[in-house]
């Protein structure tokens, strides 16, 4: 057990500041444990989101010493002894209070994404898919919607004006998931991503992949293949012809 100094951002949409707390830290604890101790002992109205405390629900995202993380998976032994730990809310989204931000942007973009469209002639129970075919989409379905990728993406992080045309990496892997879904019948997913969801804004700096707590290859397996196929479809006549014959593309590993 030791005492550590935490600086936690407190405030609301009107403004706020970093508030310092000296707090006890025990072996094996994560940043969220310490935030909870501050809440229980020093600041009972400290606003923070959390649910599962096991890296499965994606609620407790924040920036710890400037790095976007799940606070429930940020072990205290990440930090040097005596190092001050600074916890601030996600920067890309509007502040509600303290560490809680308004993440409705992400839900709105999800709602604008065309849903799964199953084949009309298959009854429930008749679906047949091979494991190797579902695995491509399953990788993207591991997403816990922590929105760390959305928060980190520089297209929107400091560019409020891009929030309108740009859906963000979370949405792109949802589109990729549906595009690679063995039984989805829509054929316009890449075009929608390019023309309506701002896929072209992404210049593949891979920041989203770096912060993904589920280690999803957002860029390599999701965004890049879509970009390549859009480019191929639109500018390469041979590929265009090939795509007319084989609907689905191959995955780039």
Partner 1 sequence: MSETDNDVERLTCDVLIIGAGGAGLRAAVEARLAGRSVIVISKSLFGKAHTVMAEGGAAAAMGNVNSRDNWQVHFRDTMRGGKFLNDYRMAELHAKEAPDRIWELETYGALFDRTPEGKISQRNFGGHEYPRLAHVGDRTGLELIRTLQQKLVSLQQDDAAATGSFEDRLRVIDEATITDLFVSDGVVQGAFGYRRDTGSFLAIAAPSIVLATGGIGRSFKVTSNSWEYTGDGHALALKAGASLINMEFIQFHPTGMVWPPSVRGILVTESVRGDGGVLTNTDGKRFMFDYIPEVFKAQYADTPEEADRWYTDPDHNRRPPELLPRDEVARAINAEVKAGRGTEHGGVYLDIASRRDPAYITKQLPSMYHQFKELADVDITAEPMEVGPTCHYIMGGIEVDADTTETGVTGLFAAGEVSGGMHGSNRLGGNSLSDLLVFGKRAGEHAAAHAERAETVAIDKESIERAATNALRPFTGEGENPYELQAALQEVNGRLVGIIRRASELEEALVELDALRPRIANVAAAGGRAYNPGWHLALDLENMLLCSIATAKAALERDESRGGHTREDAPGMDPQWRKTNLVETLEDGEVRLRRKPVPAMPPELLSLFETTELAKYMTPEEYRTTAAAEGPEAEQEDAE
Q: Contact letters (x/-) for partner 1, 54-73, by CB under 8 A?
A: xxxxxx-------------x
Residue 31 vs 227, nearer CB to partner 1: 31
130 binds partner 1 (CB under 8 A): yes
Contact flag: residue 124 with partner 1 (CB under 8 A) = yes
Out of 9, 50, 79, 201, name the contact with partner 1 by CB under 8 A.
Answer: 50
Paired tokens of 81: 């002894």
Closest CA to 2 of 55, 54, 80: 80
DSSP, collapsed to helix, strand or coil, labels residue 26 as: coil
Non-local (6+) Cβ contacts of 10 within 8 A are 16, 17, 18, 19, 43, 46, 98
The stretch among 80-88, 124-132, 198-206, 216-224 that binds partner 1 (CB under 8 A) is: 124-132
Q: Is residue 144 close enough to count as binding partner 1 by CB under 8 A?
A: yes
Least distance CB 184 / partner 1 (angstroms): 8
Contact 38, 44 (CB under 8 A): no
Q: What are the start-end ranges of the H helices in the chain?
A: 31-41, 104-111, 131-141, 148-152, 154-157, 169-180, 189-196, 207-211, 224-235, 237-245
List all residues 6 or more positions away from 201 whose beta carbon is below 8 Å from its beta carbon: 155, 162, 165, 166
CB of 5 to partner 1, least distance (A): 19
Smallest separation (angstroms) from partner 1 to the CB of 238: 32
Residues 164-223 that bind partner 1 (CB under 8 A): 178, 181, 184
**Which residues are near partner 1 by CB under 8 A?**
12, 26-30, 33, 39-41, 44-59, 73, 75, 96-98, 100, 102-103, 107, 110-111, 114-116, 118, 122, 124-125, 127-131, 134, 137-138, 141-145, 178, 181, 184
């Amino acid at each position: 057990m030791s005492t550590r100094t935490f600086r936690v951002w407190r405030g609301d949409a009107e403004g706020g500041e970093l508030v310092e707390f000296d707090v006890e830290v025990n072996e094996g604890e994560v940043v969220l444990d310490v935030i909870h101790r501050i809440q229980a002992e020093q600041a009972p109205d400290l606003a923070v989101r959390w649910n599962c405390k096991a890296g499965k629900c994606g609620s407790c995202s924040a920036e710890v010493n400037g790095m976007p993380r799940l606070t429930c998976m940020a072990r205290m032994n990440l930090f040097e002894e005596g190092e001050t730990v600074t916890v601030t809310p996600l920067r890309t989204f509007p502040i509600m209070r303290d560490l809680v931000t308004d993440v409705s942007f992400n839900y709105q973009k999800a709602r604008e994404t065309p849903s799964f469209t199953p084949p009309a002639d298959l009854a429930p129970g008749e679906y047949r898919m091979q494991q190797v075919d579902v695995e491509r989409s399953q990788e993207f379905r591991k997403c816990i919607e922590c929105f760390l990728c959305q928060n980190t993406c520089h297209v929107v992080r400091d560019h409020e004006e891009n929030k309108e045309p740009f859906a963000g990496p979370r949405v792109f892997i949802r589109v990729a998931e549906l595009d690679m879904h063995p039984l989805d019948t829509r054929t316009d997913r890449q075009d929608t991503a390019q023309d309506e969801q701002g896929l072209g804004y992404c210049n593949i700096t891979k920041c989203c992949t770096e912060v993904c707590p589920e280690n999803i290859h957002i860029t390599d397996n999701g965004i890049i293949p879509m970009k390549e196929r859009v480019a191929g479809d639109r500018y390469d006549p041979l590929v265009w012809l090939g795509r007319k014959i084989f609907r689905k593309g191959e995955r780039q590993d």
